[in-house]
């Protein structure tokens, strides 16, 4: 708790003075983020830091492996889907981004085939990404396969995101841009999905 409170004190002393007006405007006029980001809960990958975003600029949704489930209008609880709906239909974001990353524990657990049971939420959740195991031959050591799985998970989440009718409609109308990115924790390099390949941002036209 002391670390949290000391962090808060730094925020008040170092950040609040310069950002106070921004927070006051957000409180008065509400949020108007330009981007929805679906990212992993991994503590090493902070979307706002990676993209250099300030308060009120990004609507972030974080879960294990940064997965987007397919559109499923049923009576179950859908936290990620609800956040996507709110961002696109209510906040009218201009961009929807799926941010994957290297060394993803959720993807590793799926690739290793960790046994699942009714009490294992992680394995059940990772079933969303199971199709990637069928598209990539399990040939070679795991450390060589993981980057391929991680990239494929981003592509799958983008495909699932487009199954939401209002996402597809907004993208077709040109009011929403849907993109995929991959962050390398070790090097700090961000890559953008261009066609079928991820290209380092500083080497692309982005």
Question: Which segments are annotated as binding site for Zn(2+)?
Answer: 40, 42, 101, 104
Provide the token pair at 150: 């991680």
Strands (E) in 29-94, as ranges, are: 35-40, 58-63
Gap between the Cα atoms of 194 and 66, Å rounded: 19
Using a 10 angstrom Cβ sphere, with 0-12 exposed, 13-18 middle and 19 or more buried, the burial of residue 176 is buried
Strands (E) in the chain, as ranges, are: 35-40, 58-63, 95-101, 177-183, 190-194, 197-200
Residues taking part in catalysis: 40, 42, 44, 101, 104
């Amino acid at each position: 708790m002391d670390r949290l409170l000391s962090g808060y004190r730094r925020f008040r002393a170092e950040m609040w003075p310069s950002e106070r007006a921004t927070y006051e405007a957000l409180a008065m006029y509400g949020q108007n983020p330009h981007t929805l980001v679906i990212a992993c809960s991994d503590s090493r990958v902070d979307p706002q830091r990676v993209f250099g975003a300030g308060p009120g600029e990004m609507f972030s949704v974080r879960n294990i492996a940064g997965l987007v489930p397919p559109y499923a209008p049923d009576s179950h609880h859908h936290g990620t889907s609800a956040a996507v709906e709110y961002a696109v239909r209510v906040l009218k974001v201009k961009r929807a981004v799926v941010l994957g990353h290297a060394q993803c524990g959720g993807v590793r657990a799926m690739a290793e085939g960790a046994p699942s049971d009714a009490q294992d939420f992680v394995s059940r959740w990772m079933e969303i990404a199971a199709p990637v195991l069928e598209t990539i031959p399990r040939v070679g050591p795991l450390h060589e396969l993981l980057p391929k799985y991680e990239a494929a998970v981003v592509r799958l989440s983008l495909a699932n995101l487009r199954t939401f009718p209002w996402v597809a409609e907004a993208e077709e109308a040109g009011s929403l841009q849907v993109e995929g990115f991959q962050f390398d924790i070790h090097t700090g390099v961000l890559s953008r999905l261009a066609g079928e390949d991820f290209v380092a941002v500083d080497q692309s036209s982005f």
